[in-house]
A = this chain, B = another copy of it.
Amino acid sequence: MRHIAFAGFLLLAAAAGTAQTGHWQPQPIAGATEPSEVVAHSAASDWRPIAPENLLVMDLADGGRIAIELAPEFAPVHVANIRRLAHAGWWQGASVYRVQDNYVAQWGQNDGGGTRPEGVVEHPPAEYERPTAGLSIHPLGYPDSYAAQAGFVDGWPVGTDPARGSAWLAHCYGAVGVGRDLAPDTGMGGELYAVIGQAPRHLDRNIAVVGRVIEGMPALSARPRGTGDLGFYQVDRGETPVPIRSIRLAADMPAAERPSYEVMRTDSEAFARYVTGRANRGGTFFNVPAGGVDLCNVNVPVRRRAAP
């Protein structure tokens, strides 16, 4: 208990060090609780389950499985499209056809294919940002190089513009976005990509982010890079897109087969301590805690959940 109270005190010190007025100077905290310790000692109430309607499961022909949490609060029309596409088996015959180093892996039909399932909106609105009204935002507490403020909403890393009352999902490692052609096209949701390198935050507010990979990243990030422009595989050079066996919504899977996950609640006190720990690594390895952390290096904890 003393341990936790002490960490709470340190957290206040961290907030003071990140005042948004004046020249920002990191205020390193010695002895902050290690992030892994925060997770290990968290309470069940510090976590929220991921609903089967918001969980997309992609199985590749080579055995790889990627689990994606969808974000209907940020891109409702795109997410509804993706649920319908999955339900209709849209991605049968599709593949991972583009892997660009330090950028994205992309999948879908590429050249198009099949009849659009009923109810799928061909031209969704530009769900690139949304009003902050109604959102509970946990501020990161450290500067961001892309947004006036960075923080977390219900498990999602976001950029916000308090002046405009706007928030958007950040292109962190594992973020899943909707491929599109040139503006003002927003993409139907049939072509998706995941970030596999340094967060390309310049894509924020320019593309519909619909979720993030919560398990299985290596099945995308460790693939051979395509040698074509933008990392597209060049089939005539023997580079082979990996076929997709299926992309299913967990809600459409037999209950016994459904994977189940939970995400740390970013409005919990445990998460606040986790962020402080990420910003002030210590233990026997680190000499100097940073006193700051990038939005995309916080890595909101996700874990498997015993079936209910």
Instruction: Report A's interface with B, CB cutoff 8 A.
Output: 20-26, 99, 101-102, 126, 128, 140, 142-148, 163, 172-174, 182-184, 197-202, 204-206, 217-218, 221-225, 278-279, 281, 284-297
Residue of B nearest to A102 (CB): B173
**Measured CA separation A143–B26 after assembly (Å):** 12
User: Which of A140, A295, A296, A297 lies at the interface centre, i.e. has the most chain B CB atoms within 10 A of its CB?
Assistant: A297
**Residue among A145, A174, A204, A286 facing the most chain B CB atoms (10 A cut-off):** A145
User: For the complex formed by this chain, how many copies does it contain in all?
Assistant: 2
Q: Cβ of A142: which chain B residues have Cβ within 8 Å of it?
A: 145
Q: Which residue of B lies closest to A294 (CB)?
A: B145
A302: min CB distance to chain B, Å? 13
The 8 Å CB contact of A148, one of B23, B147, B200, B296, is: B23
Once the chains are docked, how many angstroms separate the CA of A125 from the CA of B174? 37
Q: Inside 8 A of A221's CB, which chain B residues have their CB?
A: 101-102, 197, 221, 225
B292 touching A145, Cβ below 8 Å: yes
Query: Is A290 touching B21 in the complex (CB atoms < 8 A)?
Result: no
Instruction: Return chain B residues, CB-CB under 8 Å to A284.
Output: 182-183
* Bound: A224/B63 CA distance, A: 14
Nearest CB on B from A180, distance (A): 9
Q: Are A199 and B147 neighbours in the complex by a CB distance under 8 Å?
A: no
Main secondary structure of the interface of A (DSSP, over half): loop
Q: Once bound together, how far apart are the Cα atoms of A222 and B146, in whole Å?
A: 28
Q: Are A297 and B224 within 8 A (Cβ)?
A: no
Docked CA distance A217–B231 (Å) = 13
Which residues of chain B have C-beta atoms less than 8 A from A218's C-beta?
A: 101, 224-225
- Which among B101, B202, B278, B297 is the interface contact of A199 at CB below 8 angstroms? B297
Residue of B at shortest CB range from A183? Answer: B287
CB distance from A96 to the nearest CB of B (A): 13
B20–A278 contact, CB under 8 A?
no
A204–B174 Cα distance when bound, in Å, is: 23
A279–B183 Cα distance when bound, in Å, is 19
Q: Ordered nearest first, which 4 A-B pairs have the shortest CB separation?
A: A143-B143, A218-B225, A145-B294, A142-B145
Q: Is the CB of B146 within 8 A of A173?
A: no
Whether B223 pairs with A286 at a CB distance below 8 angstroms is no
Contact B145 A295 (CB under 8 A): yes
Residues of B within 8 A of A278 (CB): 202
Cα A40 to Cα B23 in complex, Å, equals 36
Q: List 8 A-B contacts (CB under 8 A).
A: A21-B21, A21-B23, A101-B221, A143-B144, A145-B293, A145-B294, A183-B287, A199-B297
Sample of 8 further A-B pairs with CB below 8 A, known A102-B217, A182-B285, A183-B284: A20-B24, A24-B143, A101-B217, A102-B174, A128-B288, A183-B286, A202-B293, A202-B297
